[in-house]
Amino acid sequence: MENRTNSAQWIIPFLFLACSIQFVCGKQSTRQISMEYNPGCPKEICSTSTGNTSINLIHVMAKNPYNNGHDIHYVWSTIGSPAVLIAYTVKSTEIKIDWAKFISDNPANSITFDPEPFYTSGMQLTHLIEFVDVNDTARLNSSAEIHMYPFHDMLWDSTSWVNSEKSDGRVNFTTEYGTNTNGSILLSFDAGKSKERISRLPFLMITSNSSAVDLALHNLSTISNHSRFGLEMMFVNSYTQKPSKFKSYRSIDDEYCPAVFTMIDVNLYGEDASNGSYCQFRPVCYVNPHRALSGQKEVQYYEFVQASILPHGILTAFYGEQDINIYGMNITFGQKKDGFYVATQFTSWTSTFGFGIPPVEKLSLAIIMIISVGLGAPVVLLIFGGIGVFIKARRKQYSRLESVKQDIIT
Amino acid sequence: MACDPRRALHRYLVLILMCFLSFGSYFVYDNPAALEKQIETDMRVNAANYELLYSLYSWPNVVLCFFGGYLLDTFLGLRFGTIVFALFVLVGQIIFAIGAQLDKYWLMCVGRFVFGIGGESLAVGQNTYAVSWFKGKELNMVFGLQLSFSRVGSTVNINIMGPIYRWLNNYLSGYQCLGATLWFGCAFCILSLFCAVLLAYYDKRANRLLGKDDEKTGEKVSLLDVKDFSLQIWLMFIICVAYYVTVFPFISLGLVFFEERFGLDPAAASAVNSIVYLLSAFMSPIFGILVDKVGRNLYWVILGVVATLGSHMLMAFTFLNPYIAMVTMGLAYSLLACALWPMVAYVIPEHQLGTAYGIMQAIQNLGLAVVAIVAGDIVDSKGYLFLEVFFGGCLSIALIAAVALYLVDAARGGTLNYSAKKRNMLAEAENL
C-alpha cells in the first residue's frame, strides 16, 4: 500500500508538467489559414464558363496571430508542373500575379511578393515514372524499360477545397489518366494550422509552418503487368550559399508509423539552420485507399542530385532568371514480391513540405510513463520492502534478546 | 544397482522415460507448422482455417489443463492419469491422420482438439513425476532437461516431416500423402504411451519398495483447496504468466521486426528469431545443474527477469546488433524456466502438486493466447517500439512479483531462496 501511494505521488507532478508543456507549446504555434482561388485573375482568363478549368492557383496565407510575427505564404498550383511555393514574409505582405504574363510563353517574374520575402523555396512534381520490373527487384535501373510522363502535359481540375476557421486548409486536384481504365491521379495539398499529426498513416508531423503533399495513383493503365510507378520531384532553394542535403536516418520510434523506422529529410538550408525549409517523408506508400499496415509497401528512393533546368510552372513564374539551387530526386513505389501496381491498381504517398527545420519524432508521453512506472515501481518496492523486512528481522532479534534477558533475570 | 529406487542410476533411467513421456506430444504439436504449405494445398484451406489447428489446441487448454492437474491429484491418480493423457495424445493424432487420409478437414480439427485434451495435461503429469522423483535432488536439472527435450521434439519434427512428405510423395499424392506422413507422428505418440506405462510401473514399484505409497495418505484434495494456496504460489503464477508472454508472442512477431528495425534479410531475421529456441535446447540442462549446485532459486529468477527486460530494452532503444539481445533473452529464458518451475514443489504439498502445476500451465496458456492477440493489435496500431515497451511493462510486473516473492519468503522465513548447501543439510536432518 505504502509503495503504491509513493509511486502515484511521484507521477502526478510529472503528468501536470507534461500537460502544461503541451498546452503552452500548442498555443504558441497556431496560425490562421486563409485561402484565395486565382487571386486577381481577370474573367477572360479564369472564367469557368469558358470551360477552362485547368487554371488553378491557390494562394494560402498562414497568418501569425501576433503582431510582431512573420507570416507564411503558400502558392499551390497545377499550371504547368504541379508545385508548392513557400514564402516566409513580414506581416501584410501581398502577392501580385500578372495573369496575362503568367499564362504566356514567358512567365518569368509574373508572380511577386511585396515586400520581398526573407526566404522562399519550392517543391515541384515533374514526371510520373513507369518502369517494367521484369526481375521483381523493385529498383529502378537503367536496363529497365522506363517511361517518363511529364506532369505538365496533364490537365488538372481542382475538385474541392476546404478552408474553415477550425481546420487546416486543403485543396484536391485531380487529373484523368489512362485511356480505358477510368484512371486518375489525385493530388492534395494541406496547409498546417498548428503542430499536430496528419490524421492518416504514416501520421507525419505537420506544423503551422508546413504543408502536406499527397499523391494517389488510381486505376492507372499500365504497359505491363510488371509495371511499377514512381515520381520525379524537384526542389528549389532561394538561398544558394549552402548546398541542400538529403538525409535518410533510422530512429527507434515507430509508434506513429508501425514497422517503419526510417525517416527521410530533404534539407534546403537557409542563412541559418532555422531559416531554411525541408521536405520530409517516410519511405512507405499504401496500396489500398484505406491506409493500413497490411497495405503498407516500401518506397524506394534514389540519388539526390543537383539539376539545372526546371520545367515550367509557378516556380519558373516566380523565380524567372533569379539565381537559385535546383535539385532533383526520384522515388518509386513498391517492394519485391508485392504483385506490382496491378495487384491493387492503387498507390498513395504523403510527404510534408515546410519552412524551418524538419520536426523530430519524440517518444510519446504514454511510452515515457510506462517506462518510468515500470522501472520505478520494482525499485521502490525493493527499497521499502527491504527496509520492512530488515526492521522485522531486527525486531524479532530484539525481542528474542529481551526474552533471554528476562530469563536471566528470573 | 540400477534396480534400487534409492540409487542415482535408477533415477536417471527413470528420467529418460520422463523425457520421452512428452516427446511425442511436442513432436506432433508442431506437425501443422512443419507441413503448413502441404496442409493448405492438400486440404484446400486458407491461412485462417489453418490457424484453427493451433487455436483448437491452445484455447481449450486455458481451462483443460487446470482440470487435468486436478484429476491427476484425485480420481485418476498420477500414474493412471498420465497413461490416460498419453492415450488422448495418441488417439488425437490418429484422428488427425485419418482426417487427412479421408480428405475431411473437420475431422483433422477434431483430432487436434482431442490431442489438446491430452497434450498439456500430460506435461502437468510430467512435472509432477519429476518432483516426486527428484525433489531435494537434481530437480532443477530435470526441469531444464525436460524443457530441452520439448525443444528437441519440435525441432526434430520441423526438420523431418517435410522430407518424409517429399519421400512419400513418390508413391502417394495429395491428402493421402499428407495422411501417410501424419501416421509417422503416431509412432512417437506410441513411444510416449509406452513410457507412461513403464513410468507407472516403476513409480508403483518404488513406492512399494520404499513403503511410502502417497496415494493412501488419506488427504482429500478438493478444487476449493485453491483458495488456500499461499501467497507465494500466486506470486509464482504471476511471474510465470507475465514472463512467458514477453517471450513467445514476441518471437511470433519477430521476423518482420528484425527485418524492418535492423535491416536484416529474411534468412538472417529468421536465424536471429530462432536463437531463443536453439539456446534453450542446449542451455536448460546446464543451467539446471548450476541451479542445483548453487540453490537460491529466487535470485536466478530475478536475474532471468532482469536480463530479459534488458534484452527487450536493448531492442527497443538501441540499434545494437540484435544477436546480442536475443542471445541474452535465450539464456535468461533457459535460466528462468529451470529455476521457476521447481519452486512450486517447495510451497505446495505433494498431493496438490498436479492441481498447482495445472493452474500454472492454464494461466500461462491464457496469458499467451490473450497476449498473442493483443500484441498483434499493438503492432498494427502503435508499432514495435510500443510493443517492446508493453513487454517491458509485463516484465516489470514479473519483476515486482519476483521481488515481492523474495520479500514475502524472507518475511515468512521461507525456504525458496535457500542455498543448495542449506537445503542438503535440511534434507539430511529430515532423513535422520
Contact B221, B394 (CB under 8 A): no
In the structure grid, which three cell numbers stand for residue A52, read together? 477552362
Residues in chain A with CB shorter than 8 Å from the CB of B322 are none
pLDDT digits (tens, 9 = 90+) for A237-272: 988 888 889 999 988 888 889 889 999 999 999 888
Tell me which residue in B263, B383, B411 faces A254 most closely, judged by beta carbons.
B383
Decide if B10 is inside a domain. no
Q: Among the ranges A186-195, A262-271, B2-11, which has the highest mean pLDDT value?
A: A262-271
CB contact residues (below 8 A), chain B span 301-320, against chain A: 316-319
pLDDT in tens, A57-71: 889 888 888 877 889
A234 neighbors A124 (Cβ within 8 angstroms): yes
Q: Which residues of A touch B384 (CB under 8 A)?
A: 254, 258-259
* Residue B4 placed within a domain: no
Contacting residues of B for A252, CB less than 8 Å apart: 316-319, 385
> How many domains, chain B?
1
Q: Burial code of B12-30, b = ≥16 C-beta within 10 A, e = fewer?
A: eebbebbbbbbbbbbbbbb
**pLDDT recorded at residue B312:** 95
**A266 SS3 class:** strand
Please, which contacts does A193-197 make with residues 24 or more away whose CB atoms are closer than 8 Å?
A: A193/A30, A193/A31, A193/A32, A193/A33, A193/A62, A193/A167, A193/A168, A193/A169, A194/A26, A194/A29, A194/A30, A194/A31, A195/A25, A195/A26, A195/A29, A195/A359, A197/A256
Rounded Cα distance between B406 and B397, Å, is 14
Candidates B128, B151, B124, B402; CA nearest to B285 is: B151
B418 in a domain, yes or no?
Answer: yes
- DSSP label at A168? P
Across the interface, of B257, B319, B386, the residue whose CB is closest to A250 is: B319
Residue pairs between chains A and B whose CB atoms are closer than 8 Å: 78
Q: What is the CB neighbour count within 10 angstroms for residue B328? A: 20
Dihedral (CA of B25, B29, B30, B31) sign: positive
Q: Do A255 and B380 touch (CB under 8 A)?
A: no
Show the 3-state SS of A102-160.
HCCCCCCCCEEEECCCCEEEEEEEEEEEEEECCCCCCCCCCCCEEEEEEHHHCCEEEEE
Using a CB-CB distance cutoff of 8 angstroms, which residues of chain A are in contact with residue B317?
252
Do the Cβ atoms of A381 and B400 come within 8 Å? yes
Flag whether residue B385 sits within 8 Å of chain A, measured between CB atoms. yes
Which has the minimum average pLDDT: A11-20, B73-82, B169-178? A11-20
What gap in Å lies between CA A254 and CA B107, rounded to an integer?
Answer: 43
Q: What is the pLDDT of residues B208-239, one digit of tens each?
A: 887 655 544 445 667 677 777 889 999 999 99
More reliable by pLDDT, B46 or B299:
B299
In a domain, B45, yes or no: yes
Residues 6+ apart with CB under 8 A from B275: B323, B326, B327, B329, B330
Nearest alpha-carbon partner for A367 in B388, B169, B25, B406: B388
The C-alpha cell 498546452 sits at A23
pLDDT digits (tens, 9 = 90+) for B305-323: 999 999 999 999 999 999 9
Inspect the interface and report whether the beta carbons of B403 and A385 lie closer than 8 Å. yes
Share of chain B above pLDDT 90, in %: 28
User: How much is the pLDDT for A180?
Assistant: 57
Interchain contact, A389 vs B410, CB within 8 Å: yes
CA angle, A388 as apex, A387 and A392 as ends, to 5°?
115
Q: B413 in contact with A at a CB cutoff of 8 Å? A: no
Asked if B95 and B110 touch (Cβ cutoff 8 Å), the reply is yes
User: Which among A258, A261, A367 has CB closest to B379?
Assistant: A258
Q: How far is A384 from chain B (nearest CA, A)?
A: 10
Separation in Å, CA of A385 to nearest CA in chain B: 6
Q: Is the pLDDT reported for residue A4 higher than 60?
A: no
Q: Which three cell numbers stand for residue B306?
A: 532482469
* A31-360 under CATH 2.70.98, yes or no: yes
Domain positions in chain A: 2-23+366-397, 31-360
The closest CB to that of B383, out of A250, A257, A373, belongs to A257
Separation of first and last alpha carbons in chain B: 23
Residues of A in contact with B376 (CB under 8 A): none
A157 touches B: beta carbon within 8 Å: no
Give the distance from residue A273's alpha carbon to the nearest chain B alpha carbon, in angstroms.
28
* More confident site: A14 or B46: B46
Give the Cα separation of A228 and B245 in Å (integer): 41
Higher pLDDT, A45 or A47: A45
Q: Which residues in A lie closer than 8 A to residue B416 (C-beta atoms)?
A: none
Chain B residues lying within 8 Å of A366, measured CB to CB? 386
Mean pLDDT of chain B: 86
How far off is chain A from B416, nearest CA to CA, in Å? 16
Asked if residue B216 is part of any domain, the answer here is: no
**Residue B197 maps to a domain:** yes
CB-nearest to A371 from B261, B389, B411 is B389
Give the CA-trace dihedral at B283, B289, B290, B296, to 10 degrees: 120
Pairing of strands A205-206, A296-301: unpaired
Q: What is the mean pLDDT of residues B255-284?
A: 88
Q: Is the pLDDT of residue B277 over 60?
A: yes
Answer whether residue B46 shows pLDDT above 80. no
| CATH code at position B173 | 1.20.1250.20
Residue B388 resides in a domain: yes
A313 Cβ contact partners less than 8 Å away, ≥ 6 residues apart: A77, A79, A80, A81, A82, A83, A124, A152
Please name the residues between 225 and 254 in chain A that touch chain B, using a CB distance below 8 Å.
250, 252-254
Chain A residues 382-401 within an 8 A CB cutoff of chain B: 382, 385-386, 388-389, 392
User: Three cell numbers at B422?
Assistant: 542449506
Residues in chain A with CB shorter than 8 Å from the CB of B320 are none
- Beta carbons within 8 Å of A59's beta carbon, 6+ residues apart: A35, A36, A39, A73, A74, A75, A95
Identify the DSSP state of A223.
S
Flag if A259 and B396 touch (Cβ within 8 Å).
no
Nearest CA in chain A to B319: A252
* Interatomic CA distance for residues A222 and A342, integer angstroms: 8
Residue B136 pLDDT > 80, yes or no? no
Closest-CA distance of chain A to residue B386, Å: 6
Residue in chain A lying closest to B255 (CA)? A259
Place of cell 532553394: A237
Q: Domain for residue B87, yes or no?
A: yes
Mean residue pLDDT of chain A comes to: 84
- The range of the structural domain enclosing residue B172 comes to 18-209+228-431
**B188 pLDDT more than 60:** yes
Q: Cell 513410457 belongs to which residue?
A: B195
Q: In the structure, what pLDDT confidence band is assigned to residue B353 with cuts at 50, 70 and 90? A: confident
Q: Is the pLDDT of residue A28 over 60?
A: no
B388 pLDDT more than 50: yes
